[in-house]
Amino acid sequence: MRYLFEIAYNGTQYAGWQSQPNAVGVQAVVEDAFSKLLRAEVKIVGSGRTDTGVHCTQQFFHADLTQALDIERFLGRFNAILPHDISIQNILKVAEDVHARYSALERSYEYHITLKKNPFQEGLALYHFKPLNVAEMNKAASLLLGKQDFAAFSKVKTDVNNFICNLNRAEWVKDGDRLIFHISANRFLRGMVRAIVGTLLEVGSGKLSVAAFQQIIDAKDRKQAGMNAPPHGLFLTKVVYPEAVFQQ
């Protein structure tokens, strides 16, 4: 029986979704909790990866279990055994062909910036004290929309066979002292969002023109783009599946 689990976590203490040498990932912690609850090894498959220190308000993973779950009871027991910074939000029984990663249609991220030093945003937003031209940043961001090659914003050593992504949102929204970048696409490359944010901050700081940003996209060369923005401002916020997935 296949179950789909909705998960949220504060990524500060983790090496992203997958474990790294000398650092534990969220996946390993969840699998360990599973083994304790079911007294059997359970492997889970996530909807995607997150980098070290990146947060998540919505992600999914699936697991194949040999026994039916009392979902409400198991949800409570699962959250009781998980650490305080990881939470299972929901559990759904799904068809055997539903895949957490390959069935997903769209993913959304947010990058949070605070323009005023705020101790309550520490570890959850990038503090950027220099002025930013948000209008220019949004002009540059609009160039990302549509289906195109994003090799300029991908980690060089990656196992993908192409760098084509289809973006349907890339927008900065200012709310008082907060600045949030919203980005949605059918897929994302490794390090892509942080590389885009880092480069757009150069546009906002006046170091890079909108025309130069377009040239970076066209060049498909990661060396020409800006530095990755720090991970602690990044949140995976939404994973979209076909409605049929939830109608079992």
| Tens digit of each residue's pLDDT, the chain (248 residues) | 999 999 999 999 999 998 777 889 999 999 999 999 998 899 999 999 899 999 999 999 999 998 899 999 999 999 999 999 999 999 999 999 999 999 999 999 999 999 999 999 999 999 999 999 999 999 999 999 999 999 999 987 777 788 999 999 999 999 999 999 999 999 999 999 999 999 999 999 999 999 999 999 999 999 999 999 999 999 999 999 998 888 66
Which domains does the chain possess? Answer: 2-102 (3.30.70.580), 106-238 (3.30.70.660)
Closest by CA to 42, choosing from 19, 15, 61, is 61
**Alpha-carbon gap, residue 73 to 193, rounded angstroms:** 37
The secondary element (H helix, E strand) that includes residue 167 is strand 164-175
How does strand 126-127 pair with strand 106-114? parallel
Closest by CA to 246, choosing from 102, 90, 108, is 90
Let me know how long the chain is: 248
Residue 128: Cβ-neighbour burial (10 angstroms; 0-12, 13-18, 19+): middle
Return the SS3 of 40.
coil
Task: Please confirm, yes or no, whether 64 is among the known catalytic residues.
Answer: no
Cβ-contact 25, 14 below 8 angstroms: yes
Q: What is the pLDDT of residue 248?
A: 61
Q: How far is CA 98 from CA 48, 57, 94, 242, in A?
A: 15, 21, 7, 10
Residue 38: Cβ-neighbour burial (10 angstroms; 0-12, 13-18, 19+): middle
The secondary element (H helix, E strand) that includes residue 219 is helix 210-219
Residue of 32, 51, 64, 159 marked active site: 51
Q: In degrees rounded to 5, what are phi and psi of residue 172?
A: -95, 135
For helices 210-219 and 134-142, what crossing angle results, to 10°? 30
Region of 39 please: left (phi>0), alpha (psi -120 to 50) or beta.
Answer: left
State the distance between the two ends of the chain, measured CA to CA, in whole angstroms: 12
Q: What is the pLDDT of residue 72?
A: 93
Closest by CA to 65, choosing from 86, 35, 87, is 35
